[in-house]
Structure 1
Amino acid sequence: MAIDALVFDLDGTLVDSAADIAEAVNRLFDALALPRVDAALVRGWIGDGVSALVATALAHQRSALALEQALPVFMAGYHDCLLRSPQLYPGVAPALASLQQAGVPMAICTNKPVELVPPLLAHLGIAGHFPVIVGGGSLPQRKPDPAPLLAAAQGLGVAVQNCLMVGDSATDHAAAIAAQMPVALVRYGYPRGLDLEAVPSVAVVDDLRALLPLLGIAGADELPAGR
């Protein structure tokens, strides 16, 4: 298997943003005079895009408000909370730096609204690593449809089979399988019930630096692949 490029999911793979997304959900609930919920609960709702997240939130509260009415309220809070407290997962910054130094092309493929991705990447200091960003709204389709991954590979100018999709969830895994793109999974994200060890993948890792040997990149920060 020749891996020439990497396509990363964002939330749960590169960035821990669950607390900020949960706060945006709770601000929606505040606006609707509904009780707040724990961030741990919202963590299990993340991954399929804003519409799915808000629909799940409304269903949890048994709210009769139409999704179309709730979405603008949620998005206002989402914008306000975007840079509240996001954190890169341990190992992400050095792994990305090593990949860039080695000349490996990289893209973001996320269901997060595409307009929110560049300011988040800039805030975290990793915007320069990703010339290609495919997000929610970039295409009519979202993951687990394969179209966003196919678009990311095309944007990088690399054949699909020579890209490695790196994600954390069933949504990411299903999209990669549908696109016939090799996939690696991280253990620390928002798997939402996905049995990481049971599904086919190139690797399951605790730290992105463990992926570097797959691309022939070694160094002091190299870690065991975990499987």
Structure 2
Amino acid sequence: MTSAVLFDLDGTFADTAPDLGAALNHLLSIHGKPPLPLEAIRPQASHGSAGLLKLGFNIEPDAPDFAELRSVFLDYYASHICVHTNLFPGMAELIETLEQHGLPWGIVTNKPHRFTLPLMQALGYAQRAACLISGDTCARAKPFPDPLLKASELLKIAPQHCLYLGDDKRDAEAAQAAGMRCIIARYGYISSPKELPSWPAQGGIDLPFQLLQYLTV
């Protein structure tokens, strides 16, 4: 029986790709490069600034210019964090249903707290979440289990009674290591769909509301 539901943020709870893409295109414009379409940005949006900078500039984190590019990217994103971001269709109804049934829910993301809290506040869900675990809450982020175990600890609900919804292989790996069931949000930012069958997950959904079918499994 599931006693709590945890969500990844980018690509699972909220569609943040439009604002992340706007930050990347702002940076590309500064450097005289053409903008990238959202269709190209969306599959990389779950990989954070490193993934997006690699997409736009073909640059790795150990490159000399990476730190400066990342700083400009993140500063712009911080100032435009919820311009075009919205919950995925059906997520608001799912959250309302969980709350009506007394099931606590929370966010476990690799997004730094600097962005997680203001984004959740702007969306109107910061106070409703039972926990907000960011990428820098614990010493190790996903795919390590630490953030999910921290959420379990805060909720006072054993990991095996928590269900985690994510859209990246590291979400499934972290859940497996934490002893949680994981469901894949196939509607999210899946960069390699062909690899999905190999992820250590217990199922997948194409719409947020479909998660309800897994709550009593």
Q: Same fold (TM over 0.5)?
A: yes
Residues 153 and 163, structure 1, Cα contact 8 Å, conserved in 2: yes
User: Identity percentage over the alignment?
Assistant: 33
Which whole-Å CA distance do the structure 2 matches of 1:136 and 1:42 have between them? 21
Which whole-Å CA distance do the structure 1 matches of 2:165 and 2:200 have between them? 13
Which whole-Å CA distance do the structure 1 matches of 2:8 and 2:23 have between them? 20
Q: CA RMSD in A?
A: 2.4
Q: Is 1:147 matched up with 2:121?
A: no
Find the counterpart in structure 1 of residue 203 from structure 2. 203
Deviation (angstroms), 1:16 = 0.9
**What per-residue deviation string (whole Å, max 9, x for no partner) do you get for residues 151-196 of structure 1?**
1111211111111111112121122122221101122101111443
Find the counterpart in structure 2 of residue 10 from structure 1. 9
* Counterpart code for 2:47: D
Which whole-Å CA distance do the structure 1 matches of 2:206 and 2:94 have between them? 12
Residues 60 and 66, structure 2, Cα contact 8 Å, conserved in 1: no
Deviation (angstroms), 1:8 = 0.4
Which whole-Å CA distance do the structure 2 matches of 1:113 and 1:199 have between them? 25
Residues 131 and 151, structure 2, Cα contact 8 Å, conserved in 1: yes
Q: For this pair of structures, how many residues does the alignment match?
A: 215
Deviation (angstroms), 1:25 = 1.1
Which whole-Å CA distance do the structure 1 matches of 2:56 and 2:123 have between them? 31
Deviation (angstroms), 1:59 = 4.9
Find the counterpart in structure 1 of residue 102 from structure 2. 103
Q: TM-score, normalised by structure 1?
A: 0.84
Which whole-Å CA distance do the structure 1 matches of 2:178 and 2:16 have between them? 26
Find the counterpart in structure 1 of residue 21 from structure 2. 22
Find the counterpart in structure 2 of residue 60 from structure 1. 58
Which whole-Å CA distance do the structure 1 matches of 2:16 and 2:151 have between them? 22
Residues 48 and 143, structure 1, Cα contact 8 Å, conserved in 2: no
Q: TM-score, normalised by structure 2?
A: 0.87
Q: Which runs of 5+ in 1 are unaligned?
A: 217-227
Which whole-Å CA distance do the structure 1 matches of 2:115 and 2:100 have between them? 26
Deviation (angstroms), 1:200 = 4.2
Tell me whether 52-61 or 35-44 shows the greater mean CA deviation.
Answer: 52-61
Runs (4+) of structure 1 exceeding 6 A deviation are: none
**Higher-helix-fraction structure:** 2
Q: Secondary structure at the match of 1:112?
A: coil
